[in-house]
Structure 1
Amino acid sequence: MSPLFPALAARSTRPALQFGDRTLSHAELAAVAGALATRIAGAPRVAVWATPTLGTAVGVVAALLAGVPVVPVNPKTGERELTHIVTDSSPALVLAERGAELPPVLAALTRLDTVTDIAPDAVPLPAEPSPQAPALIVYTSGTTGPPKGVVLPRRAVTATLDALADAWQWTEADVLVHGLPLFHVHGLILGILGPLRRGGSVRHLGRFSTDGVARELSSGATMLFGVPTMYHRIAEALADDSALAKALTGARLLVSGSAALPVRDHERIAAATGRRVIERYGMTETLMNTSVRADGEPRAGTVGVPLAGVELRLVDETGAPITAYDSETVGEIQLRGPNLFTEYLNRPDATEAAFDDGWFRTGDMAVRDPDGYVRIVGRKATDLIKSGGYKIGAGEIENVLLEHPGVREAAVTGEPDEDLGERIVAWIVPAQADAPPSAEELAAHVGAQLASHKRPRTVRYLDALPRNDMGKIMKRALHG
C-alpha cells in the first residue's frame, strides 16, 4: 500500500516544514515524527492542541504515521464546547507543543510534548494503515447544536489532496505559504498535509500578515492559501505596498476558501498584480469538492468545477435532480465520492440523516453555469430567501452590495414578512461610520445590477459583522 507521505518514506532532504526560524526536512520530519509514532502506537485516539506551531504539525504527522486517529483541538474553544469534544472523542493522550499551557479538561489527560529535536537514529516508519482507517476526527463549528465529530478516513485525505494536485498542477517544486489555523480542514489538511504529500514544503507564518506574505512570496514561495478576510487585507494594502504587489505578481497560485471572496476584492487584487485569485469549495464532511483549475478560467464568484472523482448534483426541494445549467436555477448541492467522511462519531442518527440514497446533503445552495462552473449562493438554512414567490440566494446580493463604495462589509439574510413571506435584510458595515449610504441608495444600487425582487427591503448598520475563527460570517448571531 502506497504511503500517505512518500517523501517521508523516501527520507527526502528537501525542506518540508518551516515555522519562523524552525525548519525540518522530510527526512528530519520522518525521524522526529517516526519516533513519536512509536510512543503513541496502539492508542485509540489522540488529541492535538492545535496551536500554529511546528510541534502541532509534528504531532499530527506522528499520529497519522502510527495509524492513530487525530482530534485537532482549537485553542480558542470555550470550556463547555471543549469538554463536549473531549468527552465525545475520548482521546487517550494529548499532544502539545513543549511549553504550551493546557486547559484543565485536557491537562487531565496523559500528555506528550511534540519535541522537534532531531532523533539520533531514524526509526523505521510503521506500515501504512488501510485506506478506510480513520485519519482525523474534526469537529464541526456547532452552529445548530453541539459540535459533531466528523470521521475522515485516510482515503478521503489522499483523494482530496491528489485531486487538488491535478486541478492546481501542484508538485514537489511548490512552496506554500499560509497563516491559517491548524485545527481545521483548510489550514491543516490542505495547508500542512498537502505539501507533505506532494513532497514540497510549507512556510507557516504563525500569524497572518501582509508583510509575512510579501516576504515569503519574494523568497521562493509559489503558492498562497488564505480566507477572504486575509485577501481583503491584502487588497486594502496593495495601493500603498509595492513590495506586496510585486510578490503576489510572482506567485504561481493564489487560493481562497472557507467562504466566498467578494468580487470587489478579486478585481482589486487582479488590477494591482495581474494575478487572479482562484476559489475552491469544500466542507469538513467532504474535504474538497470543486475548484477553479490552474489551467482554467479564474472566474470571480465561482468555485469552479467538480474535482476528479467527485460526483456533484443539484436537487430541488422534492429531492429531484436539477439538470438545467442556466446560471439561474437554485438547488441544494449533493455529493458522492471517495472524499467523503464515513460517519459522525457516536451519532448514527445524524449520519443517516446526512445522506439521501448515498448522496451527502450539503445544505449549500448553488446554481451551475452552462459550462458546469458552480456558483454558491448560500446555505439552505440561512442564505436561501423565499420572497414574493422567488428563491433568492443571499450571496449574489452580498457581492453587489460590496461593490458600493460606501460599504465595507455586508451580509444578507431573510426575515418573516406578512406580504412577501420573507423580506431581504442587508446588514451593512459602512466604509465611513459617520456617513453611511442610505437604505434607498443601497436598494437602488442592487436593483440596477440584479432583478428588482432582489433589492433589500430593510438595511441595518453595524460596526462589524460577527465572524468565526475562519472568517465566516455567523448569520445566526445577527438575529440573536
Structure 2
Amino acid sequence: MSGTEPSAIEVAGRSLSREDLGAAAAAIADGIAGAPAVAVRATASLETVAAVLAGLTCGVPVVPVPPDAGPRERGHILSDSGATLLLDPDPAGGAALWDDVDLDIRPVDLGARASSPHPVPDPASPALILYTSGTTGPPKGVLVSHRAIAADIDALADAWDWTPDDVLVHGLPLFHVHGLVLGVLGALRVGSGLVHTGRPTPAGYAEAAGRGGSLFFGVPTVWSRIAEDAPAASALASARLLVSGSAPLPVPVFEQLAARTGHRPVERYGMTETLITVSTRASGDKAPGTVGTPIAGVSTRLVGEAGELLPHDGATVGELQVTGPTLSDGYLGLPEANAEAFTADGWFRTGDVATIAPDGGHRIVGRASTDLIKSGGYRVGAGEVEGALLAHPGVREAAVVGAPHDDLGQEIVAYVVADPGVDTAALGDFVARTLSVHKRPRRVVLMAELPRNAMGKVQKKQLG
C-alpha cells in the first residue's frame, strides 16, 4: 500500500500501524476507564478510530455523535446516553458545538502510548450505543454488545471470504453500522488493512484500488456515481469483492456496475437494531434486487398481519422478523419501545416487508409503514413495482407509495426520474406486462430527483 504495511489503518490520507493504533487507544483508555459512557464526535479521522477502540478496550460504552448533528439532536444524544466524557478529534473545529454542553471534553492524542492491561470486557456488556435516525421522534439509543459485534463480523467474514490478506476500502460515515462496525471494527477484528477515503468519491475509490484495495463497501449513491464514472469503474476491476448496503441498489446501477467493473456486487440487509443479518455470499449467485440468505447463527421468518407464519415461496409478502446472536439488547431506557420491537419469543420485528424464496433467498420489499400498499383488496410491495419501473430503459430512479383512494383504499403512485421524452402514461402498461395488472401505478409523477438522506435512502414521507 504505497509504503505502508498491508494491515495499516489509513483514514483520509493519514495512517497508523496496527501496533501504534493499539498503543494510542490503550493510552486513551487509561484516561476514560470507569466512565459510564464516552461520547465521540465521529469525524472521518484516525482520532475517531482510536477513541472508539479505546472505549472497547476498557469496557466503556462508546456513543458516536454525528459531526453534522444539529444542536437538538446532539443535545439529546449526549443527555440520553448518560455519557460523562466527550472525546473530540478536532477540539478547535468543534469548540463552538459544545458551548452549552456540561461534559468533560477532551482531545484525542494519537501520539500518546501505553501498554497497561485492561480487564477483558464482559461480552454481554454494551460496546456501542448507536442512535437511530429518529424519523418517528427523538433518536433512540440502541445497545450493541461486544458479543453481537463479534458474531456479526465473524459471520460476514465467512460469507465474504474476508481475510487478513484483504485491504478494505470505503469512505462511509463513522457513526453508523456500515461505516463503523463493518468498516472499521470489521477490519480490526479480521486483521485486514483499511483505507478510509475520507469521502466516498469515485476518484478516491479508484486510487485505493490502484494501491491494492480488494474489498470495497458502498451505499447505492456511491455505486451509482462510480458506475457513471467509466475510468473509476474500470479501476475497480482489480478488486476482489464489491459490497452494497444501507439501501436497495437499483437494478440499472447493479447492471452498469457489473458491466464496467466486471464484478456483480454483493448486497446485504440489516439495521442498527440487528446489525447485518442477511447477505449474498461472495461465492454465491449475485442477483439484482436480492440480499441473499441469513448469515451464520441468524434465523428469519415472515409473519402476517394476524401474527400467522407465512410461507417461504418467493411470492408471499410479510413482515420480516429475525433472531440470532447479532441482535442488539434493545433501546436504552425505553421499555415500551422494546416490548413493541421484540416478540415474546425473542424475535425482532424489523418493520420491513419481504419475500423469502424456497432456497432461502430474501427480497426486501420495503418498510411496512410506507411500502406495503393495500389496494383493492391486494397487498402490493412497493419495491416490486419499483423494480419493474427501473427495468424500463428510460427510468433512472423510482419510488412507489400508496395514496388514499375512496374506492381502492390506496392507489399506487409512482414518482420517477426519467429521461426526456419518456411517456409516463405508458409506464403503467409497462409494469402490467411484467407484473399483475393490479400492481400497475395509477399515477406517475415526474421529478428532477428523489429526496434522499445521507445514506442514500429515499425519504418517501416527503413525497405526495
Q: What TM bracket, shorter-length normalisation?
A: over 0.9
Matched, 1:147 2:139: yes
Matched, 1:36 2:28: yes
In the other structure, the counterpart of 1:7 is: none
Q: Deviations over 1:111-166 (max 9, x none)?
A: 111122252xx413412111111000101111111111101111110010011011
Matched, 1:47 2:34: no
In the other structure, the counterpart of 1:418 is: 406
In the other structure, the counterpart of 2:431 is: 446
In the other structure, the counterpart of 1:4 is: none
**Maintained 8 Å contact 1:151/1:342:** yes
Matched, 1:350 2:337: yes
**Maintained 8 Å contact 1:34/1:123:** yes
**Maintained 8 Å contact 1:332/1:364:** yes
Matched, 1:167 2:152: no
**Maintained 8 Å contact 1:65/1:125:** no
In the other structure, the counterpart of 2:94 is: 101
After superposition, where does 1:401-416 map in structure 2 within 5 Å?
A: 401-416=389-404
Matched, 1:315 2:315: no
The root-mean-square deviation of aligned C-alpha atoms, in Å, is 1.5
Matched to 1:252, the amino acid is R
After superposition, where does 1:109-128 map in structure 2 within 5 Å?
A: 109-117=103-111, 119=113, 122-128=114-120
In the other structure, the counterpart of 2:286 is: 298
**Maintained 8 Å contact 1:14/1:25:** no
3-state SS of paired residue (1:460): strand
Report runs of 4+ in structure 1 exceeding 6 Å deviation.
none
Matched, 1:327 2:321: no
In the other structure, the counterpart of 1:5 is: none
Tell which deviates more after alignment, 394-403 or 303-312.
394-403
Matched to 2:405, the amino acid is D
For this pair of structures, how many residues does the alignment match? 457
Task: Write the distance in 2 (CA, Å) between the matches of 1:161 and 1:368.
Answer: 24
Task: Write the distance in 2 (CA, Å) between the matches of 1:114 and 1:174.
Answer: 28
After superposition, where does 1:123-138 map in structure 2 within 5 Å?
A: 123-138=115-130
Q: Deviations over 1:344-380 (max 9, x none)?
A: 1110110111111211100111101221100001110
Matched, 1:214 2:214: no
3-state SS of paired residue (2:407): coil
After superposition, where does 1:228-247 map in structure 2 within 5 Å?
A: 228-238=220-230, 241=231, 244-247=232-235
Q: Deviations over 1:277-335 (max 9, x none)?
A: 0100010000010100011111111110000010111111111112x232110111111
| Identity of matched residues, % | 53
Task: Write the distance in 2 (CA, Å) between the matches of 1:77 and 1:213.
Answer: 26
Aligned pair in 2 of structure 1 residues 113, 263: CA closer, same or farther (>3 Å)?
same
**Maintained 8 Å contact 1:140/1:150:** yes
**Maintained 8 Å contact 1:16/1:199:** no
TM-score (norm 1): 0.92
Matched, 1:20 2:12: yes
**Maintained 8 Å contact 2:354/2:362:** yes
In the other structure, the counterpart of 1:395 is: 383
Which of 243, 246, 249 is matched with 2:237 structurally?
249
Task: Write the distance in 2 (CA, Å) between the matches of 1:251 and 1:106.
Answer: 46
In the other structure, the counterpart of 2:77 is: 85
Aligned pair in 2 of structure 1 residues 118, 45: CA closer, same or farther (>3 Å)?
closer
Matched to 2:425, the amino acid is E
Task: Write the distance in 2 (CA, Å) between the matches of 1:166 and 1:50.
Answer: 28
Q: Deviations over 1:87-119 (max 9, x none)?
A: 211211111113331413675421111122252
Tell which deviates more after alignment, 270-279 or 31-40.
270-279
Matched to 2:300, the amino acid is L
In the other structure, the counterpart of 2:361 is: 373
Matched to 2:88, the amino acid is A
Q: Deviations over 1:177-230 (max 9, x none)?
A: 001011110000000000000111110011111111111112111010000011
In the other structure, the counterpart of 1:275 is: 263
Matched, 1:469 2:462: no
Task: Write the distance in 1 (CA, Å) between the matches of 2:30 and 2:304.
Answer: 50
Give ranges in structure 2 of 5+ residues lacking alignment: none
**Maintained 8 Å contact 1:407/1:428:** yes
Matched to 2:459, the amino acid is M
Task: Write the distance in 2 (CA, Å) between the matches of 1:100 and 1:154.
Answer: 31
Give ranges in structure 1 of 5+ residues lacking alignment: 1-12
3-state SS of paired residue (2:93): coil
Task: Write the distance in 2 (CA, Å) between the matches of 1:423 and 1:75.
Answer: 40
Task: Write the distance in 2 (CA, Å) between the matches of 1:235 and 1:273.
Answer: 8
3-state SS of paired residue (2:300): strand
In the other structure, the counterpart of 1:10 is: none
Task: Write the distance in 2 (CA, Å) between the matches of 1:76 and 1:407.
Answer: 33
TM-score (norm 2): 0.95
Matched to 1:401, the amino acid is L
3-state SS of paired residue (2:370): coil
In the other structure, the counterpart of 1:3 is: none
